[in-house]
Amino acid sequence: ELKVEQNPLFLSMQEGKNYTIYCNYSTTSDRLYWYRQDPGKSLESLFVLLSNGAVKQEGRLMASLDTKARLSTLHITAAVHDLSATYFCAVDTYSGGGADGLTFGKGTHLIIQP
């Protein structure tokens, strides 16, 4: 059974600081997703990481994937209040016969204070 663990689950930080959210998963997978969710809203896709060593950046967010360590990170640079949200990582259980759905971590609730 695939397990996806995020840490921390809750993070309060100040504007301007840097921080990293970690996502560990228990079985081999070549697809890792990062989503953002605002309260009462749906999931917004941030990154899709498809191979070992993949690194993607968008604004103040950068995600990376190490498939050998089964670890992905989401790094926040010089945080701003607008990045306050809950961030989820998810791993694809694609088996080659079709898309079997995503397994999600529990989410990291991020609060960025002025």
Least gap, CB of 64 to another protein (angstroms): 17
Least gap, CB of 3 to another protein (angstroms): 11
Site for another protein in 42-71 (CB under 8 A): 42-43, 45, 48, 50
Confirm or reject binding of residue 36 to another protein (CB under 8 A). no
Task: Provide the 8-state DSSP code for 27.
Answer: S
Q: Report how far apart, in Å, the C-alpha atoms of 111 and of each of 19, 99, 101, 108 are.
A: 12, 33, 29, 10
Q: What share of the chain is helix, strand, coil (3-state, %, to 5)?
A: 5, 55, 45
Name the site residues for another protein (rule: CB under 8 A): 4, 9, 31, 33, 41-43, 45, 48, 50, 88, 90, 92, 97-107
